[in-house]
Amino acid sequence: MRVSYPVNYDTVPNPTPPHRLTHRPLLFFDNASLAVPDRTAGLSPLIVLHHILVRSPLPLPHKLHGWHESQYVRFVEEHSEEEVWDVIDQGLTHWKSTHDGEESVDMGEADEYIGLARQVLSNARAGSR
């Protein structure tokens, strides 16, 4: 391909899709920042929730419900964000009730992530009213 100068950079394709660029800051946030709406403004609460769960010792939502990844993806695509939030919240409650007191689980660490996820859920629900 021949390039003529001056280059119009508006016509040059960006190798990184814009939605991937918006998620990048999450990688560098400390845990507490993930639940601060000002820090995660512009990001879907679902993206932030999934990021919290990936960092945590908790299983991902599809595992908590015994679904295959493709079933979970289909569920997310076919339901409202509020319905997906409810499924994640139910999964957190179920996991905590079935693992509380287990010696093999660091409940302090798990509780930190459950608290962060619940704060994101609370903020998301308050913002969607």
Q: Which of 43, 45, 12 shows the shortest CA–CA distance to 126?
A: 45
Distance CA 10, CA 43 (A): 25
Instruction: Please tell me the predicted confidence (pLDDT) of residue 98.
Output: 85
Average pLDDT, the chain: 83
Indicate the domain borders of the chain: 16-127
Answer whether residue 19 shows pLDDT above 70: no
Pair 104, 18: CB distance under 8 Å: no
Mean pLDDT of 112-127: 95
Report the percent of the chain where pLDDT is more than 90: 55
pTM, whole model, 2 decimals?
0.78
Pair 116, 34: CB distance under 8 Å: yes
Instruction: Please tell me the predicted confidence (pLDDT) of residue 49.
Output: 95
* 75-109 pLDDT tens trace: 999 999 999 999 999 999 999 888 777 777 788 89
Distance CA 123, CA 116 (A): 11
